[in-house]
Chain A
Amino acid sequence: MRIEAAATGDVETRSYGQAINLALHQEMERDASTFVLGQDVGRMGGVYGITRNLQQAFGSQRVLDTAIVEHAIVGGAVGAALAGARPIAEVQFSDFLMLAGDEVTNKLAKWRFIHGGRLKLPVVVRAPMGATGGAGAEHSQCLEGVFWHTPGLKIVVPSTPDDARGLLKSAVRDDDPVIFFEHRRLYGLRGPVITHPDHTIPLGVAARPREGKDVSLICWSAMVHECLKAAEDLAAEGIDAEVLDLRTLQPLDRAAIAESVEKTGRAVVVSEAVRTAGPAAEIAAHIAEDLFGVLQAPVRRVCGYDTPIPQSAHLEAMWVPAPGDIAEAARQAVRW
């Protein structure tokens, strides 16, 4: 497991969910203008336990239980930021960002620009995403591409406990709106976490959890782990795959993509989001436009199918891109 830079504090083993909880505690402690709002975030501590003990620590005015009011949760965060607060909103499933579509895409993303840059929107919207547990078509999607398509939003997609912690801390301190996509399949994933309150991980800097020279597996969020498994299988066959974890889509670390693809000459972009007009297509287009000269094979994509995600856990497991799919795409690129 990777830890960025020099560890400036103790390192403890925590789950991805606990790491987010730690970051929330630390940032709320650090800045009295922060507050959390959402459904079941207070008394219950969140349906996934991510906001556990926050209300006990900071009171009910800083950790607000709301009704089922996505317009008011996200719009309320916008209005609070305009008046000088630093809100952290939670929608229970990232699919519900669509219920606050105007607030996210027209208010959060555009309000600063349309008002001449004279207002700022230091808002984080935490959005749990991804297919797991048979949650069904309306509670499982990876919609980061939809919101990446809207200028004005920063898009954070962490893959490890420490990234979730460090990137969330940066997101809270950032003066621009951030949609923070937490992958629900990762909440229980455990790993080393830096606990020092001052340690953050900057937005826009990709990580390279595995170095390789034959093919670049470009990914983010839960797919990082599927790519790492695929890379192990490929290594047994003599293919040396590099795994590039983008960590954030906006800002996008184009330099890291270029460095990796220039070295390997082959790229497979892997996303759980659906294929058509999805985020993988944007990255593939970037590579084709800017790095055509170094490519030794066409850029390949491994993505979720262009279908709604099935409710049945049995079918859901078939729907999610698997290491075998990724390894096969990598082999095709290498053998091109």
Chain B
Amino acid sequence: MDVATNRLMVLYTEMMRARAIESIALQLVESREFAGFYHPGVGQEAGPIAVCSQLLMQDYLYYAHRGLGYLTARGMDPVEIIGDLLAVEAGSTRGLGAGTVHCVDPARGVLGQGGTLGSCFPLAVGSALASRLLGHGAVVAAFFGDGASARGTFLESAVMALSESLPVLFVCENNGYAVSATTRDTQGVDSLIPRASGLGLESVAVGVEDVREVDEAAKRLIDHARSGRGPAFLEIRSVRRPGHFAGDQQPYRRRDEGLASSEDPVDRAFEDLRRAGVALDVLEQVALTAAQEMEGALAQARRSSKPNEKRLFEGVWA
């Protein structure tokens, strides 16, 4: 296998892992073992996988709520992620039931996530400040959707990241929809690139369908940030395929909007790998292995128990 095919195989494998753990999440929504909202990321895996699989050990990640590939690609233990869905002690929050919003893995630079959208921007800038102060050499990746990009926190954080020339990579997964509202209808634009580059961020847009292109763009911007040239903005354009949450009937979605779902990055990678000569059974084995890994993690998480009332009072104070 040549280098390019090898990299594509890595990306394909990570996308399949993301898809496999998402199918577990959807299963838990269906069985009501997970009591919260799950926001599916199917069809958008290319962004999280391309960026997170390129982060170095010292880097920090503020992930977004759509899908779980950010976390699996960052190397988090799927048992901890599924444990958070089940709200058991095996979860990363040790039984608080993070759902998908508050998973944490300090050793891998997963510094948590907030339930208020757009709240990770200032935190990402702060982590970059600390990294500079303490000499960690970290890049901070902050994921968000087109909806959160409208928050005032984005402006303030971009301003501070620029003034201090901090290595923050803002990754906007623009899937055209914020719950029911289109980016065009509520923000007056289809792309956030003019806004980001107008602020002074090094900005690149790429479609979600070809994970290799996303990978290239991510590499360029991570290098930009790491080399001290300041913050960057990556827009990954797609059209949201599922509803906002699992079970969303999407009554707001009109046929005449012309918003066909974007091409699937997993299907595209599969075809490209086949064309590059990778055997069908090898690719089928990737899918099977991913499914087995996540089924195994589910079984292990299910063996863990829910915390008792004492847990209510733990973790408030250091």
Contact = CB atoms under 8 A, between A and B. Distances in A.
A80 B130 CA distance: 5
B104 A116 contact: yes
A314 interface: no
Interface of A: 33, 35, 37, 61-62, 64, 66-67, 69-72, 74-85, 87, 102-103, 106-107, 111-122, 151-152, 174-176
A72 B133 contact: no
Contacts of B153: 71-72, 75, 102
Interface residues of B, number: 47
B93 interface: yes
Contacts, number: 167
Determine which residue in B111, B128, B156, B164 has the highest number of CB atoms from chain A within 10 A of its CB, and name it: B156
Contacts of A174: 318
Contacts of A111: 112, 114
B118 to A, nearest CB: 9
B53 interface: no
A103 B318 CA distance: 19
B291 interface: no
Contacts of A33: 130, 133-134
Contact of B315 (A76, A77, A103, A112): A112
Determine which residue in B93, B126, B136 has the highest number of CB atoms from chain A within 10 A of its CB, and name it: B126
B289 interface: no
Given A35-B129, A79-B130, A175-B318, A114 B102 contact: yes
Contact of B92 (A74, A77, A79, A116): A116
Interface of B: 60, 91-96, 98, 102, 104, 106, 111-112, 114-116, 119, 121-134, 136, 138, 140, 152-153, 156-157, 159-160, 163-164, 314-318
Contacts of B157: 69, 71-72, 75-76
Nearest to A34: B133
Contacts of B98: 114-116
A82 B96 contact: no
A84 to B, nearest CB: 6
Given A85-B133, A115-B93, A117-B94, A80 B126 contact: yes
Contacts of B130: 33, 79-85, 87
Contacts of B95: 116
